[in-house]
């Protein structure tokens, strides 16, 4: 009951013109930086942090929530249209989304991504409003041992994520893990595989690799094939929207993806990435159309919803307990800190106006983003109609500047080009790229949590099996891997018997 009362109070705060304006501003800024590859929500919020000092803290929080949600809406645009995943959680969207765009269904993919984001945002906000304290305490049960098993099971799932040969994806996973060890290791500051380059000390960043492997390699391949008609299919404006059939097919994936994203995303570390992989895996398993790998709409709807739901989930530990599990949440927390507000379990009772105001404004922001993004679908989808000599140089510019804007590092541009060539060769040889980059992201988390778990337990490997949550995750992972295989065997055995 007091949740409704709180929300009502919250809406009265959020609906004041000034807060509405900040919500709108945040949504616009967020969408724009989400679309531009490079500078993500984290960098933008850090840039604007001192600006929020001049506002009321509620307004600052609303602005940042708008940016954060908006960036997730915008992020799917480059993934689908240009084959550039802006963050690790978008890698899965690229797999089906870009194939849809190539088939002339870019508009459908974008619209489904936007609606999926809205559905997921709403579901995760409901979760945030009603269950925040309970869920946050549950998330705390995850320690280093659990992070390790989550990442490890994630790697297991990944081998089955894409088609093609198992040995090939295993080899690329190994390469990704190896690339993830470059840089200063976090426990003792030991330099690994940096070859004396101080700039490599911070490791190989996600974006140069993602932009290179996916974006630059796509540009190179397009350049080689420009004289043929295999370019993007041209579409009429009327075909920009999803058909009824496509709506029907994406509805359940959206809902499933939202729940997967919200619950898996509550746990920090490797979880948001893995939630998109789990959603993709589930949809692939349930698929009846045999379109996966060639642009299945379910493969966009599910993971995109999962990705967005994890954004709402990230706010849960921050709002309920004052614990910022991710760097982006730490910046959001700083908005409160510079105003002398201590976020924590008492925030809800001490500053209900702020707590509920921010949550209410997220509902409004989410709705605003939908209204704001749907008309843009048409605009963006028609980007593909621009002539190649305009589109491709623009994409290259976005990559060249975007990759620099993350760490202001020249080395990152070199890396992007290097990985662009690698991606080009891999694709020519028909390798799937997703395992490589996802392993690179998950590897460092896996190592860190393994070492922390081992140091805490003084070298007892059994912790992974004796801690109930960790053991459950492992069991689920092994079942998911062996399950289909076993069922198949058992089924065949039964079929043979009579």
Length of the chain: 498
DSSP assignments along 164-189, one per residue: S-HHHHHHHHHHHHHHHT-EE-TTT-
As measured in angstroms, the least distance from the Cβ of 441 to another protein is: 15
Size of the site for another protein (CB under 8 A): 129
User: Distance (Å, rounded) from C-alpha 456 to C-alpha 118?
Assistant: 41
As measured in angstroms, the least distance from the Cβ of 496 to another protein is: 27
Q: Where are the alpha helices (DSSP H) in 182-270?
A: 206-210, 217-225, 244-265
Using CB under 8 A, which residues numbered 356 to 395 contact another protein? 387-390, 392-394
Residue 408 binding another protein, by CB under 8 A: yes
As measured in angstroms, the least distance from the Cβ of 184 to another protein is: 5
Residue 321 binding another protein, by CB under 8 A: yes
Using CB under 8 A, which residues numbered 452 to 471 contact another protein? 452, 454-456, 458-459, 461
User: Distance (Å, rounded) from C-alpha 242 to C-alpha 196?
Assistant: 52
DSSP code at position 346: T
- CB nearer to another protein: give 126 or 421: 421
Contact assessment for residue 377 and residue 77, using Cβ atoms and an 8 Å cutoff: no
- Of 12, 225, 286, 478, the one binding another protein (CB under 8 A) is 225
Q: Which stretch binds another protein (CB under 8 A): 57-65, 173-181, 232-240, 296-304?
A: 173-181
As measured in angstroms, the least distance from the Cβ of 225 to another protein is: 6
- CB nearer to another protein: give 366 or 449: 449
As measured in angstroms, the least distance from the Cβ of 241 to another protein is: 25
Q: Which stretch binds another protein (CB under 8 A): 33-41, 58-66, 237-245, 370-378?
A: 33-41
- CB nearer to another protein: give 56 or 452: 452
Taking CB under 8 A as the rule, which mask of x and - marks residues 264-303 in contact with another protein?
Answer: -----------------------------xx---------
- Of 2, 288, 290, 429, the one binding another protein (CB under 8 A) is 429
User: Distance (Å, rounded) from C-alpha 94 to C-alpha 295?
Assistant: 10
As measured in angstroms, the least distance from the Cβ of 39 to another protein is: 6
User: Distance (Å, rounded) from C-alpha 158 to C-alpha 257?
Assistant: 17
- CB nearer to another protein: give 121 or 295: 295
User: Distance (Å, rounded) from C-alpha 138 to C-alpha 6?
Assistant: 23
The CA-based angle 364-366-372, given to 5 degrees, is 100
As measured in angstroms, the least distance from the Cβ of 339 to another protein is: 8
Q: Rg of the chain over CA atoms, in angstroms?
A: 22
CA distances from residue 22 to 71, 214, 333 in whole angstroms, order as listed: 15, 35, 18
Q: Which stretch binds another protein (CB under 8 A): 115-123, 302-310, 441-449, 479-487?
A: 441-449
- CB nearer to another protein: give 144 or 242: 144
Using CB under 8 A, which residues numbered 185 to 224 contact another protein? 185-193, 198-199, 201-203, 216, 219-221, 223-224
Taking CB under 8 A as the rule, which mask of x and - marks residues 116-155 in contact with another protein?
Answer: ------------------------xxxxx-----------
- CB nearer to another protein: give 238 or 288: 288
Residue 28 binding another protein, by CB under 8 A: no
In sequence order, which residues have a C-beta less than 8 Å from that of residue 485 and are 6 or more positions away? none
- CB nearer to another protein: give 44 or 90: 44
As measured in angstroms, the least distance from the Cβ of 69 to another protein is: 18
User: Among residues 161, 123, 32, 23, which one has the least CA distance to residue 86?
Assistant: 32
- CB nearer to another protein: give 123 or 442: 442
- Of 443, 470, 474, 477, the one binding another protein (CB under 8 A) is 443
User: Distance (Å, rounded) from C-alpha 115 to C-alpha 107?
Assistant: 12
Using CB under 8 A, which residues numbered 37 to 96 contact another protein? 39, 42-47, 49-50, 53-54
- Of 36, 81, 151, 267, the one binding another protein (CB under 8 A) is 36
Contact assessment for residue 103 and residue 402, using Cβ atoms and an 8 Å cutoff: no
DSSP assignments along 434-492, one per residue: HHHHHHHHHHHHHHHHHHHHHHHTTS-TTHHHHSHHHHHHHHHHHHHHHHHHHHHHHHH
As measured in angstroms, the least distance from the Cβ of 207 to another protein is: 13
User: Distance (Å, rounded) from C-alpha 195 to C-alpha 183?
Assistant: 10
For helices 271-286 and 298-321, give the axis angle rounded to 10 degrees. Answer: 150
Phi, psi for 165 (deg, rounded to 5): -75, 145
Contact assessment for residue 275 and residue 310, using Cβ atoms and an 8 Å cutoff: yes
As measured in angstroms, the least distance from the Cβ of 240 to another protein is: 23
- CB nearer to another protein: give 30 or 242: 30
Using CB under 8 A, which residues numbered 479 to 498 contact another protein? none
User: Distance (Å, rounded) from C-alpha 92 to C-alpha 95?
Assistant: 5
User: Among residues 308, 289, 306, which one has the least CA distance to residue 297?
Assistant: 289
Q: Which stretch binds another protein (CB under 8 A): 161-169, 242-250, 358-366, 369-377?
A: 161-169
């Amino acid at each position: 009951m007091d949740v409704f009362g709180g929300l009502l109070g919250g809406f009265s705060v959020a609906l004041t013109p000034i807060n509405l304006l900040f919500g709108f501003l945040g949504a616009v800024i967020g969408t724009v930086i989400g679309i531009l590859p490079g500078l993500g929500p984290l960098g933008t919020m850090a840039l604007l942090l001192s600006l929020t000092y001049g506002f009321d803290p509620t307004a600052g929080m609303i602005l940042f929530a708008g940016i954060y949600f908006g960036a997730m809406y915008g992020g799917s645009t480059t993934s689908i249209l240009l084959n550039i995943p802006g963050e690790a959680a978008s890698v899965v969207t690229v797999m089906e989304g870009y194939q849809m765009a190539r088939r002339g269904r870019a508009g459908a993919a974008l619209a489904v991504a936007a609606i999926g984001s809205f559905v997921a945002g709403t579901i995760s906000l409901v979760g945030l409003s009603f269950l925040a304290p309970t869920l946050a305490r549950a998330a705390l049960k995850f320690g280093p041992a659990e992070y390790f098993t989550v990442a490890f099971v994630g790697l297991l799932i990944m081998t089955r994520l894409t088609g093609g040969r198992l040995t090939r994806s295993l080899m690329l996973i190994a390469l990704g893990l190896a690339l993830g060890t470059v840089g200063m290791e976090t426990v003792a500051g030991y330099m690994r595989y940096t070859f004396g380059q101080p700039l490599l000390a911070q490791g190989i960043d996600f974006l140069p690799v993602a932009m290179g492997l996916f974006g630059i390699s796509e540009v190179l391949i397009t350049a080689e094939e420009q004289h043929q008609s295999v370019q993007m299919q041209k579409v009429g404006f009327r075909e920009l929207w999803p058909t009824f059939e496509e709506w029907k097919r994406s509805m359940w994936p959206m809902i499933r993806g939202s729940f997967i994203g919200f619950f898996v995303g509550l746990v920090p570390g490797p979880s948001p990435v893995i939630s998109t992989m789990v959603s993709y895996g589930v949809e692939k398993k349930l698929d009846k159309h045999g379109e996966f790998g060639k642009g299945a709409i379910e493969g966009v709807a599910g993971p995109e919803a999962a990705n967005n739901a994890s954004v709402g989930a990230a706010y849960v530990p921050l709002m309920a307990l004052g614990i910022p599990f991710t760097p982006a949440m730490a910046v959001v927390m700083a908005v409160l800190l510079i105003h002398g507000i201590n976020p924590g379990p008492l925030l809800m009772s001490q500053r209900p106006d702020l707590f509920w105001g921010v949550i209410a404004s997220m509902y409004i922001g989410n709705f605003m983003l939908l209204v704001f993004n749907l008309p843009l679908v048409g605009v963006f989808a028609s980007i593909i109609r621009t002539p190649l000599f305009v589109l491709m140089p623009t994409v290259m510019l976005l990559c060249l500047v975007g990759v620099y804007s993350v760490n202001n590092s020249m080395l990152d541009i070199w890396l992007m080009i290097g990985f662009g060539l690698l991606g080009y060769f891999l694709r020519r040889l028909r390798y799937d790229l997703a395992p490589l980059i996802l392993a690179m992201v998950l590897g460092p988390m896996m190592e860190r949590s393994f070492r922390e778990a081992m140091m805490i337990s003084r070298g007892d490997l059994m912790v992974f099996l004796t801690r109930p949550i960790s053991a459950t995750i492992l069991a689920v992972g092994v079942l998911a891997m062996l399950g289909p295989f076993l069922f198949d065997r058992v089924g065949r055995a039964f079929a043979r018997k009579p």
